[in-house]
A and B are shown apart, each in its own frame.
Chain A
Amino acid sequence: MEVINIQNLSKSYGRIHALDDLSLTIEAGQIYGILGPNGSGKTTTLGIILSILKADSGSFQWFEGKYGSNPRKNIGAILETPNFYPYLNAIDNLEIVRHIKKVEDRNFDEILDIVELSHRKKSLFSTFSLGMKQRLAIAATMIGNPDVVIFDEPTNGLDPQGIADVRKTLLHIADSGKTVIMASHILDEVEKICSHVAILKNGKLLAKGPVGSILNNDIIIELKANDNSHLSEVLKQLDYIKSIEDNQGILECSLPPDADPALLSTFLHEKGLVITHFQVRKRKLEEEFLSITKNK
């Protein structure tokens, strides 16, 4: 089932095109990352599909129209910052979310356990650290056990322990079979958690698809020789090497996923080159991201 179908969304703030003709479909069960640098339109996209921002043009439909014009009771979402009543405690704040969603179950112990806030459930929200606030927001998204949860930069501003805690919770939610939509500018986060990714820059969609296909599975072989310029000459003779980039004295060669590194090693040896560094690795999302965003 389609969880959301986004068609040609655009939005401007004055002269700035925050979002430019975005179309995207997210299917049930996907862990969908929306990736892009700050100001690329991630939060604008989420704001529009959560009905707090008005699009200039375009449309979107949740759950193939199953819940009509207000499907948000069936979605758990945080946008930008954790937003709660500072003068109320954790339980009172969760109660307000429960009330709005008209969920019967008033017991929040389990979800507070998951985010490890049970010991602070009677503390005022204003006394929480940023990490605790973020975790309470994640707890709030679980009220009513919605099929879809949305997180916007969930680890933004947290310390390393906070990041680790939040990621653990996110993985826990992702494993439970829910559809997760997550905006992030942290590639590592998306790579570790998401099954699918859409890459945005300046409001434009640059690429979308399964994380694997965006990564395109190319392998990178890092090479260094005593004479790098000679090495580079030799490598250029090989047509199965897609590209060669000099990264601070290390030549990074991109090869198709089925290429055999052993053949390359043998070939270089036969050419009489002394290799001082030889490492095979997968292409990183970061490189993919930079290569995509650089050209557009």
Chain B
Amino acid sequence: MQFFHLITLEWKKFHKNTVMILLMGLFTFLMPFAIFVMENYKSVPPMPEKDTFFTFPGIWEYQGYSASWFSFLFLGFIGVLLITTEVGNRTLRQNIITGLTRMEYFLGKLYVILLISLYATLIYFVSTLLIGSFYPETFAMADFMNGHDWSTGRYFLLTFGYLSFGLFLGYILRKTGLAIFVYLSYIIFLEPLLRWAVHIKIFNNASMHYYPMNAMEDLMPNPLFKFAENFTSMTDFNILLSYRDASIVAVISIALFLLIGLRSLLRRDI
């Protein structure tokens, strides 16, 4: 009942927001088809054959890796904007004045990112199923779960992770420009820098992989990395986290993002 009340409230707030519509639209209409940029790919040994990208079991990984970029960019931004738009318009403050509790406000946002993650996962699952089944006009659905390896669950977790990180930065930083800047620069530069320039100098072992956003990435890594790992190695240890470890780090990170965000919302002036 409370779930329904809060989720319809969020719908009323955002279903006419141009930026949100644009981000959701781009995700919905671009993500399923992005894999087709590989149509012009020419295989050079020892790289995999082109069909690997579009047929089971490979497509689960390739479509997932491609989709993870859309989660990182479009959906993560939504996580940030869900909070910063409301801080900027002072509607967060007005929502509380009008009668929402801070906890209800937090739960409303949590439910939204949960539903968006489920929606994204559904699109990933259905698009993978369809492309994998009908490419290239060979109906191969019979063994579609072959090689699935929890990829739907992993994709859900990573999407929820990016959204939680966005929400977290929204709560902590509050300003759209700043939060987006930190979101991008942390994931693209700061964390890799920390891992590859600092951490590895101090502890030259696999502990350098146990970082929140690296865990999200390793839930759905570039499949070519795994392929490459068979031939060369930059380090004495694996360059990817195992799915199990990535999942554990992701779950702990998500819990921390949400708890720190909640704590900030409950304790600070708004």
Residues of chain A in range 66-113 having any CB-CB distance to chain B below 8 Å: 70, 72-73, 75, 77-79, 81, 83-88, 92, 95-97, 99-102
Chain A residues whose CB sits within 8 angstroms of the CB of B268 once the complex forms: 54
C-alpha spacing A86/B98, complex, angstroms: 17
Residues of chain B in range 96-124 having any CB-CB distance to chain A below 8 Å: 96-102
**Known contacts A87-B17, A88-B16; A100/B269 CB under 8 A:** no
Please pick, from B8, B18, B89, B96, the residue contacting A84 in the complex, using a CB distance under 8 A: B89
User: Which interface class (under 10, 10 to 19, 20 to 34, 35 or more) fits B?
Assistant: 20 to 34
Any B CB within 8 A of the CB of A290:
no
C-alpha spacing A204/B16, complex, angstroms: 45
14 of the cross-chain contacts (CB-CB < 8 Å) are A50-B97, A53-B270, A72-B97, A83-B91, A84-B94, A87-B16, A87-B18, A92-B12, A95-B12, A96-B12, A99-B5, A99-B9, A100-B100, A101-B99
C-alpha spacing A263/B55, complex, angstroms: 108
C-alpha spacing A84/B102, complex, angstroms: 18
Asked if B17 contacts A52 (CB within 8 A), the reply is: no
Asked if A83 contacts B96 (CB within 8 A), the reply is: no
Asked if B16 contacts A101 (CB within 8 A), the reply is: no
Asked if A54 contacts B267 (CB within 8 A), the reply is: yes
C-alpha spacing A53/B89, complex, angstroms: 17
Asked if A92 contacts B94 (CB within 8 A), the reply is: no
Any A CB within 8 A of the CB of B90:
yes
Any B CB within 8 A of the CB of A51:
yes
Q: Separation in Å of the B264 CB from the closest CB of chain A?
A: 12
B contacts, CB < 8 Å to A: 5, 8-9, 12-13, 16-18, 89-91, 93-102, 267-270
Any B CB within 8 A of the CB of A47:
yes
Please pick, from A54, A83, A87, A99, the residue contacting B93 in the complex, using a CB distance under 8 A: A83
Number of interface residues of A (CB under 8 A): 29
A contacts, CB < 8 Å to B: 47, 50-54, 70, 72-73, 75, 77-79, 81, 83-88, 92, 95-97, 99-102, 140
C-alpha spacing A81/B99, complex, angstroms: 17
C-alpha spacing A97/B270, complex, angstroms: 18
**Known contacts A52-B269, A95-B12, A96-B12; A72/B99 CB under 8 A:** yes
Q: Separation in Å of the B6 CB from the closest CB of chain A?
A: 10
Chain B residues whose CB sits within 8 angstroms of the CB of A77 once the complex forms: 97-98
Q: Separation in Å of the B171 CB from the closest CB of chain A?
A: 15
Q: Separation in Å of the A264 CB from the closest CB of chain B?
A: 52
Q: Separation in Å of the B93 CB from the closest CB of chain A?
A: 5
Q: Separation in Å of the A230 CB from the closest CB of chain B?
A: 60
Q: Separation in Å of the B263 CB from the closest CB of chain A?
A: 13
With CB as the reference atom, state the residue of chain A lying closest to B266: A54
Asked if A72 contacts B96 (CB within 8 A), the reply is: yes
Asked if B269 contacts A99 (CB within 8 A), the reply is: no
Asked if A100 contacts B9 (CB within 8 A), the reply is: yes
Chain B residues whose CB sits within 8 angstroms of the CB of A53 once the complex forms: 269-270
Q: Separation in Å of the A140 CB from the closest CB of chain B?
A: 8
C-alpha spacing A83/B95, complex, angstroms: 9
Please pick, from B13, B17, B96, B101, the residue contacting A50 in the complex, using a CB distance under 8 A: B96
Please pick, from B18, B95, B270, the residue contacting A100 in the complex, using a CB distance under 8 A: B95
C-alpha spacing A70/B5, complex, angstroms: 17
Please pick, from B16, B95, B102, the residue contacting A92 in the complex, using a CB distance under 8 A: B16
Please pick, from A54, A72, A85, A92, the residue contacting B98 in the complex, using a CB distance under 8 A: A72
Asked if B13 contacts A100 (CB within 8 A), the reply is: no
Asked if B89 contacts A81 (CB within 8 A), the reply is: no
Q: Separation in Å of the B60 CB from the closest CB of chain A?
A: 39
The 10 closest A-B pairs by CB, nearest first: A73-B99, A83-B94, A83-B90, A72-B99, A100-B98, A53-B269, A50-B97, A52-B270, A77-B97, A100-B99
C-alpha spacing A101/B94, complex, angstroms: 12
**Which of A72, A85, A102 counts the most B-chain CB atoms under 10 A from its CB?**
A85
Chain B residues whose CB sits within 8 angstroms of the CB of A86 once the complex forms: 89
With CB as the reference atom, state the residue of chain B lying closest to A86: B89
C-alpha spacing A53/B101, complex, angstroms: 13
C-alpha spacing A79/B97, complex, angstroms: 8
Chain A residues whose CB sits within 8 angstroms of the CB of B93 once the complex forms: 52, 79, 83
Q: Separation in Å of the A151 CB from the closest CB of chain B?
A: 12
Asked if B12 contacts A52 (CB within 8 A), the reply is: no
Chain B residues whose CB sits within 8 angstroms of the CB of A95 once the complex forms: 12
Q: Separation in Å of the A286 CB from the closest CB of chain B?
A: 31
C-alpha spacing A129/B94, complex, angstroms: 19
Chain A residues whose CB sits within 8 angstroms of the CB of B5 once the complex forms: 99, 102
Chain B residues whose CB sits within 8 angstroms of the CB of A54 once the complex forms: 267-269
